[in-house]
Structure 1
Amino acid sequence: MRYAFDDAFLDELRLRNDIESVIGEYVSLKRQGRILTGLCPFHNEKTPSFTVYPDTQSFYCFGCAAGGEAITFARKFFNLDFIEAVKLLAERAGMSLPVLSSQDGYSKLRRSVFDANREAAKLYNELLYKPEGKAQLDYLRGRGISDKMITVFGLGAAPDKWRMLYDHLSSKGFSEEILVSANLLRKREKNNKTIYYDNFKNKIIFPIVDVRGNVIAFGSRVLDNSNPKYVNTADTPVYKKSNELYALNIAKNGNEGTLILCEGYMDVIALHGAGFTNAVAGLGTALTPAQVSLISRYAKEVMVCYDSDTAGKQATAKAISLFSRTGVKVKVIDLPDGKDPDDIIKQHGKERFRALLEGSANDIEYRLSLERKNHDLQTADGKISFLKAAAVILAVNGGSIERDIYAAKLSDELGVEKGAVLQQIKLVDVRNERARQKGSVRQAEKEMKKLYKDLLPQGHEDLRIIKAQEILLANIIANPSFLTKLEGKVSKEIFITPVYKKAFAIISERISNNSGIDIIYLTGDFTPDEMGAVSRLYASKLPLSNTLKECEDCISVLLEETKKSDFKDVSKLSDEEFLNLFNMDKNQQ
């Protein structure tokens, strides 16, 4: 979909939203000459691979291939569509948004889903205080949830009726198609007739709100112990559960750089009610890299507060592993067996939970404490096996300071020399380095192919194809006059990758029309994921000689590949396709 924002508006939008300023509000950037680098907000990493290019007003991550300009950054960071992202930046700059003659159908759908969710949340909350919601209100009050917390979290009641929400939202003008897309309704076929009914029935409702204040989904809980205990919104045009966190819209404000990560809605509400307003929770799935990345945008430290059973320990170990790839510090709250935060606050008060917070262990201490339980430290063999396991933990997770501190602690605990502990860690380092070097070349190729997996169409395995397309396009972007000089030699047909075929068509059209080809003019034509590939073309790390000879060499590579793939079955080529390829081949001779 090509959006109707003219270049003059986009120029002003870019001028008033300098990319360093926009991204710098959410990512800590460090200047390195003409560029800036930081930890990528779109994947987990310890070493910065996220690069901002003020000269081209673009960004690119060499770790996950995310890229674009300010609009794309807003789209990816806040999960917005194109028009929503432009509106956000326009409001940030105090600009008025032009009226578009037409709007993207997907954008309209998203806005309709947001509107339907807001109306549903309002109805559910109102029903909680009516006779239809008495059972749900009694349950919440029985769990010690105050009216204040009900208001803060917008809790509600879905009554024991199949069409309450359907009838209400239909009267507000929402179509069945919109309500099914929002997962507020379900449908089934009966006697050749489609029957629609409410997704949530006889349940407590937990609205899920994003960091911008939009109601994006709902969680729900049964009133008894029947299964499934929780029924949640499935993925919709505005919601993907693996990308969001419950209550982050509240916890992100004034959290002093620390978030408490809980397992469920009730834990979060109980903690907020006790004054711990920096608590958040996942949304019915195991913690995901996307959620870890989201947390890292708002916190420098996370305190993991999962149950102490086997499943909880496994989830904690996974969380530590995920956060170890970021710059976020991790602490683990040691909950008593069988207790969750809600139980502790009810039975022992908020001061007891505060004491648990203050006594929480960092990730290394937690790993060591778990490992310690697997060894009999009263025996020499037990001490040796524990020391070897501890050395692995410190080699993988500890810096030089952590190694020194914990080597001293282990020395005192096990009755061995500190130097012996450090030597054991060094042995692990050597072993790990050998393994790393052995697989480095293979891993680099694997990572490159993974990075380019969406850019390599089926049947094309040679990474030279990607490079040839990138270098050719980057040369044309840097030297628009090359397009005329390459006339008859290059066309979109020689490009193998769909996104680069599309990029060439748009860029060449703009050059022919004497229009600018800055990256912001292209963003309305590509998805955020596609913009990553486009952004690579504007990144300064592409090796260019800026010569026609380099372009012609790239064209030769692509023509060779085109002939290999397309002429396998000439009968499937149209007359126009055959003539185009014939003419290009002739021009190359």
Structure 2
Amino acid sequence: MPLPEDFIMQLKQNNPIESVMSSYVSLKRSSRDYVCLCPFHSEKTPSCHINVGKQFFHCFGCGAGGDVITFVMKAENLEYIEAVRFLAQRAGMSMPEEAKNNDLSRLKARILEINRMAARYFHQTLMKDSRGEKGRLYFKSRQLTVKTITKYGLGYAPDEWRYLTDYLKSQGCTEEELIAANLARHSQKGGVYDSFRDRVMFPIIDLRGNVIAFGGRIIDGEGPKYLNSSDTPVFKKSRNLFSLNFAKRSDERRLILAEGYMDVIAVNQAGFENVVATLGTALTPEQARIMSQYADEVIIAYDSDGAGQKATQRAINLLSEAGVRTKIIKMEGAKDPDEFIKKFGALRFKQLLDNSDGAINFRLSKCGNDLDLDSDTGRVEYLKRCVDVLSQIASPVERSVYISKIAKEQNISRDALELQVNSVIRKRINADKKQNWNEIRTFSEKRKTDPAAVNFPKEYKAEQGIIAYLCVHPEELSYVEKNLSPDSFLTEFHKKVYEKLISGMKESADFNILSLQSEFPADEMGKITGILSEAQTLELNRNAAEDYIRILNERREREQSAAPPSALSDDDFLSLAQKIRSRK
């Protein structure tokens, strides 16, 4: 049974799309509507538009689009029912009796349940089982308190091939479900065995309190130091952050970005709730955009070794693109936050945070690496690198301060340095505009690769035009339906949209095409919002509709006239023979 239409309507009214999207991206007013950087692909110039009146978004760069439910589905990686439930909770609404979840939704719910059982079993093993002694000794050596271990639900997986598998199967789980959850793997002999063995376990928990995955650290022996869950239907490494479920509760609009699980837990135990880490991979654009929802400033606390410094540079770039200020702490006498806190205490670490240097100074300090600054060639290359960094400073005042600093340091003309920086800025602005235009053009070209769009461009535009016309003029339903059959459509997608539009408008005078997100996947909803967005530039009147209908009907008539006559049935053949005989 589908969800009641009046419930969905109330849900959308209680969750205005501009309000929901403002929790994910920074919106800029554009006339009556808004524009923003698209949260679903990297860009520097906003190409995502939010139509406040019709309550939909559409990105002209990547083609994403839909209503508030579609947005949440894409942003949170949820199924339709899950996104509806998410928005209902946000608005304080009770869910009505739901339609039965589809197979994927049921599998997701099952994996979350299995993960919860696994996390509890790992934790009980650590805290109470004799086989958890090895894990207890490890966490004791890392100076973690029982309170912290309990807070994070830490556990231990013994060095046994089927320890977890046998337990979960005894609880009614199937081997296929354990494989899907990435808690077990197929053996060469056809059986299954545990994915995590002889490791201390770190449950990964999402913002809704669900255990979505695990990280396991080896204590001794052979194997990778950390083993993390692979992507599953409920978990995507690139879209989640460890301990964000705790960090989001912080009153500060700043986050500490650490390198690993133990660094995060040590910093949190020291009293800093606002700390997160990536999940075994380098920071991704998606994670940077997620962090921008909770912080205006991120302090990067990566290891002081070469790999950590390289990762810091990458993080600075991604966070900058997401509109987040960055600072970097310099840890002297320790290689990571965990070691620093153990040696110097929480107060010194707070001072380290408060005195952290800006990303600009960090990047400028790296410009001289591998250069002989006593030579003219080395100085010129150093200044080129500095110009590249300075040109990326958005604030003119801040940029001016650093230009003066470098000019004085290198004993060169400040005006000459500023002239060079401004030249690079102009080139970069032009390049960004060209890139964004190319992205939009590339997306437009992709849409044109539909065979119907290539072979029948006039009819293709007419199909989109008549759909847009009905959306703008629902009072014209009878006229359009009377004069245009769905069979006159060349493309199956447009035909399906037209049929759903007709049937929906017949059922309800308040029908909105965007309510079809339960019947169309997210990429097709993007195509629908693309039609609606382009409709704002068209003159959609009765004359235009007549042209669209004429173009489509004429095409159908030409196809019918060119088609060979169909074979006669036996009865029709006998009837025709009798008519011919009677004429003689």
* TM-score, normalised with respect to structure 2: 0.85
Which of 195, 198, 201 is the aligned partner of 1:202? Answer: 198
CA contact (8 A) 1:392 1:428 kept: yes
- 1:440-498 C-alpha deviation (Å, 9 max, x unpaired): 3x862444324774784479669968766544422221123555544565537735474
CA contact (8 A) 1:388 1:424 kept: no
Which of 415, 424, 439 is the aligned partner of 1:419? Answer: 415
Shift of residue 545, structure 1, vs aligned partner: 0.8
Partner of 1:375: 371
CA contact (8 A) 1:127 1:158 kept: yes
CA contact (8 A) 1:324 1:397 kept: no
CA distance in 1, matches of 2:348, 2:336: 12
Of 64-73 and 233-242, deviating more is 64-73
The structure-2 alpha-carbon separation of the partners of 1:531 and 1:255, relative to structure 1 and needing over 3 Å to count, comes to farther
Shift of residue 187, structure 1, vs aligned partner: 2.1
2:213 matches 1:217: yes
Which of 469, 488, 494 is the aligned partner of 2:489? Answer: 494
The structure-2 alpha-carbon separation of the partners of 1:337 and 1:536, relative to structure 1 and needing over 3 Å to count, comes to farther
- Which residue identity is paired with 2:208? R
- Which residue identity is paired with 1:185? A
- 1:57-80 C-alpha deviation (Å, 9 max, x unpaired): 223334443332222233233332
Structure 2 unpaired stretches of 5+: 568-584
The structure-2 alpha-carbon separation of the partners of 1:449 and 1:496, relative to structure 1 and needing over 3 Å to count, comes to farther
Where does 1:70-469 land on structure 2 (aligned, <5 Å)?
A: 70-100=68-98, 102-129=100-127, 130-188=129-187, 190=189, 194-224=190-220, 226-336=222-332, 339-432=335-428, 440=434, 444-450=437-443, 453=446, 456-457=449-450
The structure-2 alpha-carbon separation of the partners of 1:461 and 1:374, relative to structure 1 and needing over 3 Å to count, comes to farther
CA contact (8 A) 2:367 2:385 kept: yes
2:501 matches 1:507: yes
Partner of 2:530: 536
The structure-2 alpha-carbon separation of the partners of 1:52 and 1:492, relative to structure 1 and needing over 3 Å to count, comes to farther
- Which residue identity is paired with 1:449? T
CA contact (8 A) 1:457 1:497 kept: no
- 1:182-235 C-alpha deviation (Å, 9 max, x unpaired): 112222352xxx412222111111100011111111111111162212221111
Of 354-363 and 428-437, deviating more is 428-437
Partner of 2:578: none
Of 243-252 and 531-540, deviating more is 531-540
CA contact (8 A) 2:257 2:299 kept: yes
Q: Residue 307 of structure 1: SS of its match in structure 2?
A: coil
CA distance in 1, matches of 2:312, 2:488: 51
Partner of 2:515: 521
Shift of residue 25, structure 1, vs aligned partner: 4.7
Partner of 1:578: none
Shift of residue 170, structure 1, vs aligned partner: 2.2
Q: Residue 56 of structure 1: SS of its match in structure 2?
A: coil
Shift of residue 41, structure 1, vs aligned partner: 4.1
* TM-score, normalised with respect to structure 1: 0.85
CA contact (8 A) 1:159 1:201 kept: yes
CA contact (8 A) 1:44 1:292 kept: no
2:541 matches 1:547: yes
Partner of 2:574: none
Shift of residue 353, structure 1, vs aligned partner: 3.0
Shift of residue 45, structure 1, vs aligned partner: 4.8
Shift of residue 404, structure 1, vs aligned partner: 0.9
Shift of residue 506, structure 1, vs aligned partner: 1.8
- 1:81-118 C-alpha deviation (Å, 9 max, x unpaired): 22122223333444332223533121111111111111
CA distance in 2, matches of 1:225, 1:553: 75
Of 226-235 and 69-78, deviating more is 69-78
CA contact (8 A) 2:333 2:340 kept: no
Partner of 1:477: 471
The structure-2 alpha-carbon separation of the partners of 1:451 and 1:290, relative to structure 1 and needing over 3 Å to count, comes to farther
- Which residue identity is paired with 2:73? R
Which of 31, 34, 47 is the aligned partner of 2:32? Answer: 34
Shift of residue 558, structure 1, vs aligned partner: 8.2
CA contact (8 A) 1:372 1:386 kept: yes
- Which residue identity is paired with 2:299? M
Q: Residue 5 of structure 1: SS of its match in structure 2?
A: coil
* Cα RMSD for the two superposed structures: 3.5
- Which residue identity is paired with 2:267? L
- Aligned residues with identical type, % of pairs: 39
The structure-2 alpha-carbon separation of the partners of 1:88 and 1:169, relative to structure 1 and needing over 3 Å to count, comes to same
CA contact (8 A) 1:251 1:280 kept: yes
CA contact (8 A) 2:39 2:289 kept: yes
Q: Residue 187 of structure 2: SS of its match in structure 1?
A: strand
CA distance in 2, matches of 1:463, 1:149: 65
- Which residue identity is paired with 2:110? S
2:6 matches 1:8: yes
CA distance in 2, matches of 1:152, 1:303: 24
Of 398-407 and 502-511, deviating more is 502-511
CA distance in 1, matches of 2:15, 2:436: 38
Shift of residue 250, structure 1, vs aligned partner: 0.7
Structure possessing the higher radius of gyration over alpha carbons: 2
Q: Residue 10 of structure 2: SS of its match in structure 1?
A: helix
CA contact (8 A) 2:452 2:491 kept: no
Shift of residue 555, structure 1, vs aligned partner: 7.0
CA contact (8 A) 2:60 2:443 kept: no
- Which residue identity is paired with 1:494? F
Shift of residue 435, structure 1, vs aligned partner: 5.6
CA distance in 2, matches of 1:39, 1:513: 37
- Which residue identity is paired with 1:135? K
CA distance in 2, matches of 1:106, 1:66: 22
Of 221-230 and 117-126, deviating more is 221-230
CA contact (8 A) 1:408 1:418 kept: yes
CA contact (8 A) 2:452 2:490 kept: no
CA distance in 2, matches of 1:464, 1:316: 49
Partner of 1:584: none
- 1:397-455 C-alpha deviation (Å, 9 max, x unpaired): 44322221111101221112221211221332455467668xx3x86244432477478
How many residues are paired up? 561
CA distance in 2, matches of 1:257, 1:370: 28
CA contact (8 A) 2:471 2:513 kept: no
CA contact (8 A) 2:258 2:275 kept: yes
- Which residue identity is paired with 1:12? Q
The structure-2 alpha-carbon separation of the partners of 1:101 and 1:77, relative to structure 1 and needing over 3 Å to count, comes to closer
Q: Residue 73 of structure 2: SS of its match in structure 1?
A: helix
